[in-house]
Structure 1
Amino acid sequence: MNWEEIKIKVPWGFVAAKSWGDSNNFPIILIHGLNDNAGSFDTLIPLLPQRFNYICIDLPGHGLSSHFPRTLPIEYTHLLMTLQIILDELKQDKYILIGHGISATLLPLYAQLKPEKVVKIVLIDSTYTFVNPPGTYLTRIEEANALLMKYINFKPENRKSYTYKEAVKKVIRRRPLGVLNYKCGEQLVRRMVEKVGEKKYMFTTDGRYKALVQPSLSFNYVTELLEKKPLKCDILVLYTSYTLDISTKIFKYMIPYLDLFKEHRIIIDGDHHIHHTQPEKVSNHIEKFLLN
């Protein structure tokens, strides 16, 4: 399946994307997790039905996309707003949405806000806006403000540079919930570095994401929100065994959260990056869901 680079206009610049297949086909929007980019779907898309147009976006400050304006912290709702702007700009009546990690948590919220726009959602290794214990929100705001001051005063030319191989190895190492092989690491690096000298590269990912400000919601609030505005689209949840195991052992407050949409859940043996490193383990489930 062939692909082309496209740019989607947003008020602060553009969102870059890889568009796979015929642009006249029904649109499926794919959104990567934090510190990844559209390259994280490079191995999965060729295994999916060719009757769709797959548009894999780079979130703002990731891949080839413009950064958000640099004088404010980045908040979770900014990503939700970005999704709405992108879909409005693409001017299609309806969409299928696929998200990984934190981007998976955006999709049910968007489907609640715009139920007439969403036919199906596929949630890979996450489900809904995260629940957080009391106090987390204030701590996160404090971290975000401190990081913002550092970011505003930071000169891009002072970033550390790497050889291409060093950059790939760095991306592979920075994976708290799984393992990437070299090929997958390279597919990400192609969209997240810029050449700055003879055989030297610097990373371009927005550092403010290290302190992304997320909503501080209780599990009761989340369940009440879903009861008052239930999802009307079809749902497929693909959780990995590694993420479920780690989350239940370390983040015990998240155990009820992990069971959201349990009736739509399939557990895949593998880690957080399985859609990228072993796409054949998820592609059959997604294909069946898309064609059903």
Structure 2
Amino acid sequence: MTSQNVNTLSREFEEISIKVPWGFLSGRWYGPRNVRPILALHGWQDNLGTFDTLIPLMPSYVGVLAIDHPGHGRSSHLPDGVMYHSISHFVYSIFLVMKEYNWDKVSIIGHSMSSLYGFLFAALYPEKVDMFIGIDLLKPRYRQPSTEIGIMQYKFDKFFVATERSREIAFKEPPSFTYEEMKEKLYQGSLESIDKDKLHHILDRNITKSEQYPDKYYFSRDDRVKFYVEFVATPEYSKEMARRIKAPFLSIKGGASEFFIEDHYDEVLEVLKTNNPNFETFILTEGTHHLHLNNADKICDVVNAFIEKHRPIEKEIVAKL
């Protein structure tokens, strides 16, 4: 089945809410509900809107469940005083979604931060992942210990400040800005990675209209996510994780993006190529870090061919019988 004849149906969606220990995860389920969907996970400080331009181009016979991570988009913030952690909250969210819908396996498409944690999840639980598409980041970051210690200290200091600030504004609004000012903040915050005509896809789920100033908005995602505890790994650690990944794995990279390109990046890539017969790579020369949002039309054929190969329509039809 070709991309042309699986993308003809509209990508209607249903808003969903998944109860979790600290509140709920907000999401959208696109397409059929009688087939296990692909779980779409966004990057750091973004939300499910990051997939707005790609999902309508994906095969219509299999659904897509896109969620907002904790503290992002419209999902619940963590309780006061709790620091976001890459494994305890972002990787844990995958388990919570699987439990909610009683899945024994999961198919993942993840961008940026979620590409890293999809990599980690597929290495920790190779028997639970049947397909993984990682966009622009391949593996966990590695820093020299002295650098990492300094960054952790910085994050803890900033987390304490952000926590106190959130308590101060608990009964009043955060600083607000015009919509155009918000767009510029997001554009600069993404290091100009998001095309200006695509900013609204992410911005609209990250802001709330001010009640004090009718023409202004404020960021409603949790400010503390800026200082989350990141999972880091030595080169040998990353290579060992790569050896454990058995699922079909498509790694997509933006040629104009330099996110997490380190000296041992090629070493991990080589381990995946050597140990996983279903590992594929694709580089979009002009792609920035948000190539899936900016250039969905230029990567959809690669994404769809991979999905059709590893989640073929014939298999999905049989699964429903």
TM-score (norm 2): 0.83
- Kindly, what percent of the aligned residue pairs are identical? 29
Instruction: Describe the SS at the equivalent of 2:140.
Output: coil
For residues 169-248 of structure 1, what are the structure 2 equivalents within 5 Å? 169-176=184-191, 178-182=193-197, 184-197=198-211, 198-227=214-243, 230-244=244-258, 248=261
Instruction: Tell me what 2:144 maps to.
Output: 133
Structure 1 gaps, min length 5? none
Structure 1 residue 142 corresponds to structure 2 residue 153: yes
Does structure 1 retain, via aligned residues, the 8 Å contact 2:140–2:232? no
Structure 1 residue identity aligned to 2:77 = H
**SS across alignment from 2:39:** strand
Note if 1:55 corresponds to 2:69: no
- CA offsets per residue over residues 127-147 of structure 1, 9 Å max, x none? 222222222332232122212
Provide closer, same or farther for how the CA distance between residues 128 and 260 of structure 1 changes in structure 2, counting only shifts above 3 A: farther
Deviations, residues 200-251 of structure 1 (Å, cap 9, x unaligned): 2110122222222223421022213444xx112111010110124x755xx5
**Structure 2 gaps, min length 5:** 1-10, 274-278, 310-321
Q: Determine helix, strand or coil for the equivalent of 1:5.
A: strand
Distance 1:36 1:168 in 2: 13
Distance in 1 (alpha carbons) for counterparts of 2:263 and 2:126? 32
Could you tell me which residue of structure 1 aligns to residue 313 of structure 2?
Answer: none
Question: Aligned to 1:265, what secondary structure does the other structure show?
Answer: strand
Say whether the 8 Å CA contact 1:7–1:16 is kept in structure 2.
Answer: yes
Whether 1:40 aligns to 2:54 is no
Q: 1:260 to 1:272 in 2, by over 3 A?
A: farther
**1:117-175, CA deviations, whole angstroms, 9 ceiling, x for partnerless residues?**
21100010012222222223322321222122112211333521012222223212221
Instruction: Give the equivalent residue in structure 2 for 1:280.
Output: 297
Kept after mapping to 2: 8 A contact 1:134/1:216: no
Q: Which residue of 1 aligns with 2:102?
A: 91
C-alpha contact 2:112 2:137 (8 A) present in aligned 1: yes
Distance (Å, rounded) in 2 between the aligned partners of 1:68 and 1:258: 35
Amino acid of the structure 2 residue aligned with 1:100: H
The secondary structure found in structure 2 opposite 1:34 is coil
Q: 1:290 aligns with which of 295, 303, 307?
A: 307
Equivalent residues, number: 286
Could you say if the C-alpha distance between residues 101 and 85 of structure 1 is closer, same or farther in structure 2, counting changes exceeding 3 Å? same
Aligned to 1:20, which of 20, 24, 30? 30
Q: Separation in 1 of the partners of 2:24 and 2:114? A: 18
Separation in structure 2 between the aligned mates of residue 258 and residue 160 of structure 1, nearest angstrom? 44
What's the CA shift for 1:176? Answer: 2.1
How far apart, CA to CA, are the structure 2 residues paired with 1:177 and 1:207? 20
Aligned residue for 2:116? 105
Question: Deviation string for 1:164-192 (max 9, x for gaps)?
Answer: 2222232122212623223x211112111
**Quick check: 1:261 aligned with 2:243?**
no
What TM-score do the two structures reach when normalised by structure 1?
A: 0.90
